[in-house]
Amino acid sequence: MHKSPIGRALELAYNSGTLTAIHRAQRNRLTVLAYHRIDDPKAPEFCTFAPNVSATPQAFAEQMDLLCTLFNVVSMQQVVAWLEGHSQLPPYAALITFDDGYRDNFDNAFPVLRARNLPATIFLATDCIGSSKPFYWDLAAHCFKNTKLHVAELPVLGTSRWLNDDERQDVALRWVSTVKSLPDSEKQQAAARLPETLDVTLSDRSFADLHLTWEQVCKMQAVGFEMGAHTCSHPILARIPLSEARRQISESRTAIEENTQQPVVTFAYPNGLSSDFTQAHQTLLAEFGFRAGFTLVPGPMSFSRALQQPMAIRRIFIGWRDDLPRFLAKLTGLARLADRLFAGK
Ligand SMILES: [Zn+2]
């Protein structure tokens, strides 16, 4: 694959041991990895939203091997006990998390983690668990992948044309990112109109294997995986009324507790950037008795900072285009710095 100048610089830093040295200089940090899907977005049968793929199964295994070499992987239980002042965390602490509750977490990530005896936490958007109802981004990707049209009057975007697969994919990405910023009800309405607009017929099987079932959730939990809440229908909290946020937080927790018979004390904010949740949501979580809230504001975080902000713990978003040098650079915080320095170039 053709590499950018930053990509080549990171590769050099990785091969020369510089990245490892930078990592070793940062003992007292909490590094929380944020995964979504473990799958191959290039596979012919893959027709859902590729940007949500964090790694192929093979790349994920390589990342976990590197993580075991350089970090002390801890469980959510250890992190919560530490946040409450009951215990210490080891240096170079790393926590593995997944968002949303995709089926491939069970099929593709779980075996890799089990083989290495690594714990992980999955934040579940509970309306999807055991259901064949897609998230709007997966619905959109499916419709754009399967449409035979070359022009359409799209909800929100209006008249759009594409000549080839690349252009069609660009329109799909633009549609998803535009719709993302709408209020939740308008977003759902726009998504509902998309299959007809793109002349795609959905069947009961279209999204049948997309999400985890409660049985799979319980199987993973039985061997030490932990479950956290991620709302019911995955709205961006800052874009819905506080009363609805309260319902989404509390009902998603209840759904998990009823299905797993285990207490739920952690939460991940949908979309998770600093504009996607407010202090009021952090206060809500604390009132509900949650012990930690996880964002997608890029980490890592020093131990002292995490202890000050247990309801806004930073994480590191992993994407399937990240090779091992970029993966390690992200974990050290260097990739963030490099992107910021070269932004706009
Ligand atoms: Zn999510």
Structural domains in the chain plus CATH codes: 5-128+210-342 (3.20.20.370), 136-197 (no CATH)
Q: Is the pTM of this model over 0.75?
A: yes
Tokens of 232: 């019911």
Report the separation in Å between the CA atom of 234 and the middle of ligand 1, taken as the mean of its atom positions. 6
User: Which three-class secondary structure state does DSSP give residue 248?
Assistant: helix
DSSP 2-62: ---HHHHHHHHHHHTTHHHHHHHT--SEEEEEEE-EES-TTSTT--S-GGGEEE-HHHHHH
Paired sense of beta strands 72-73 and 93-100, if any: parallel
Q: Are 124 and 100 in contact (CB under 8 A)?
A: yes
Convert the pLDDT of each residue in 288-341 to its tens digit.
999 999 999 999 999 999 999 999 999 999 999 999 999 999 999 988 877 777
Q: Where are the beta strands (DSSP E) in 36-166?
A: 37-38, 53-55, 72-73, 93-100, 121-124, 151-154, 158-161
pLDDT of residue 343: 59
Q: In this predicted structure, what is the pLDDT of residue 344? A: 45
Dist CA 249 CA 126 (whole Å): 10
Around ion ligand 1, residues with a beta carbon closer than 5 Å are 99-100, 270
- Contact indicator for 30, 303 with CB cutoff of 8 Å: yes
- Ligand 1 centroid vs 321 CA: distance in angstroms? 19
Whose tokens are 């799909």? That residue is 172
Q: Which residue in 50, 205, 200, 56 sits closest to 138, CA to CA?
A: 50
CA nearest to 123, candidates 141, 145, 143, 105: 105
- Residue 199 confidence (pLDDT): 97
Residues of the chain with pLDDT below 50 are: 344-345
Distance between CA atoms of 178 and 185, rounded to whole angstroms?
14
Question: How many whole angstroms from 339 Cα to the centroid of ligand 1?
Answer: 23
Q: Two tokens at 15?
A: 């091969």
Supply the pLDDT for residue 339. 72
**Interval between CA 52 and ligand 1 midpoint (Å):** 9
